Structure 1
Amino acid sequence: MKNLLPRTTVLTAVVSLFLFSACESDEATPDATLQAANTQAAHQTNSMNLYKTYTVELMELNGSGVNGMAHIELMGDKIDVSLEAGGLTPEMEHMQHIHGFIENNRNAVCPPPSADTNGDGLISLVEGIPFYGPVLVPLTPYPVADATGMVDFMNQYPIGRTVRSLQNNVIVLHGMYVDGVYDPTIPVACGQIKVMNKGK
């Protein structure tokens, strides 16, 4: 009986400490979860409220004579794209894309003349990819140039978070005759996307 009391006292203290810790943990966990949820919701709200405007000056590639301007408005998870260009092959469809790189936040650029690695005098779609990257957003439906070689285009597109740094990307227009045959893939104009405002 003499040694029983201290052991009981120690056991009671241990149990009490365990219950207090468990209670404290139960109280902390909902707060931490709520805080994380609020942070995520705020981040999503900020992303959805993001508004930026961009401009693009389209300059000829491959001696096409094509030039033009594009305007982009980023509104959360959507972009509005308006584009005007001239010098295109009349009454032919012209592919147009936002090209860029997702990995490492690498900047896309318009290909220089040295991109013509096979020496045929033209920069092909494939030869341009190391400079402007793969297609990130196809600007469909692809427009058909009018009888004077002009296009006047506008459309809205959903845009993912990975593509949202638009100033790292370029717009490329495609399509012209090569040796009497229309090549719809060959790049005919390119322009760097530049920020006009800093957004919210």
Structure 2
Amino acid sequence: MRNATRAALAATAGIALAIGGATAANAAHDTNPSPKVASYSYTLNAIQPASVPESAASGTTRVKALPNGKLQVTVEAWGLSPNLPHAMHLHGVPGAATDMGCPGPGAAGADGVVSVVDGIPFYGGILTSLTSTGDTSPASALALDRFATADANGYLYYQRTFTDVPGYTDAGTVQVVVHGIDFDSNGAYAFNADDPFASMASSLSGAIPLEATVPVLCGGIAN
């Protein structure tokens, strides 16, 4: 079953190119400041069970639909793994609008962790990579050198204005997902055979540490 899900994920989100119970998102939006600028903000909620180390993060996201088809995305988060980049994406289902949501601790697999694949039935595949520079397609899903980095206190601030964002037409039903947890607090996304969590591989590839891809925060967007 997991193999089928992994294959569906790669086809939908383009992850293969990039590397070479559950609760719906709790969302409360602002009043639009003007007819020309639609602005909404949402809470980013922790995904992992409390037993997963270094996973008790929190955050917010704001999305502004600007004139001329531009979209501004802001992410602010606290409690992330410090001094490390955190992959972030707009997840969703292309095509007809489907109101997806975010997984909660109850979505964890037998390994006790909510992996990317565990979350796919909730938030769908990748529509847009929230990189700081360059390409924003699913092909940049794990381009960690181009994602925002949390500071020494685990605080991350990200803002970018996009033009012709892939998946923007589905913005009313997508989720912002933030990835990356340094389980063993060694300052790197790396395998550690001596740690029960850091020893695990990503659900996307056995060659990638789970630390680099595991989702930590999720929240909903509406246009």
**For residues 106 and 155 of structure 1, what CA distance do their matches in structure 2 show?**
25
Alignment root-mean-square deviation, CA: 2.1
User: Whole-Å Cα distance in 2 between the matches of residues 161 and 99 of structure 1?
Assistant: 11
Q: Does 1:106 align with 2:111?
A: no
Deviations 1:70-124 (A, max 9, x none): 11111242111111100000001100111111133111200133422x3111110
Q: Secondary structure in 1 aligned to 2:121? A: helix
5+ residue gaps, structure 2, are: 1-34, 133-146, 184-196, 200-208
- Listed as ranges, the gaps of 5+ residues in structure 1 are 1-48, 196-200
Structure 2 counterpart SS, 1:188: strand
- Does 2:177 match 1:172? yes
In structure 2, distance between residues paired with 1:151 and 1:82: 11
Aligned partners of 1:129, 1:66: CA distance in 2, in Å? 20
Specify which structure has the higher proportion of strand. 1
Name the larger-Rg structure: 1
Matched with 2:40 is 54
Q: What corresponds to 1:191 in structure 2?
A: 219
**Percent identity of equivalent pairs:** 31
Q: TM-score, normalised by structure 1?
A: 0.66
Is 1:124 equivalent to 2:129 in the alignment? no
SS in 2 for 1:104: coil
Instruction: Specify which structure has the higher proportion of helix.
Output: 1
Aligned match of 1:156: 161
TM-score, normalised to structure 2's length?
Answer: 0.60
C-alpha distance in 1, partners of 2:57/2:104? 16
Name the structure 2 match of 1:87: 79
Distance 1:104 1:51 in 2: 24
CA distance in 1, matches of 2:174, 2:167: 12
1:143 to 138, 143, 148: 148
Say which is worse superposed, 49-58 or 124-133, in terms of deviation.
49-58
Aligned pair count?
A: 146
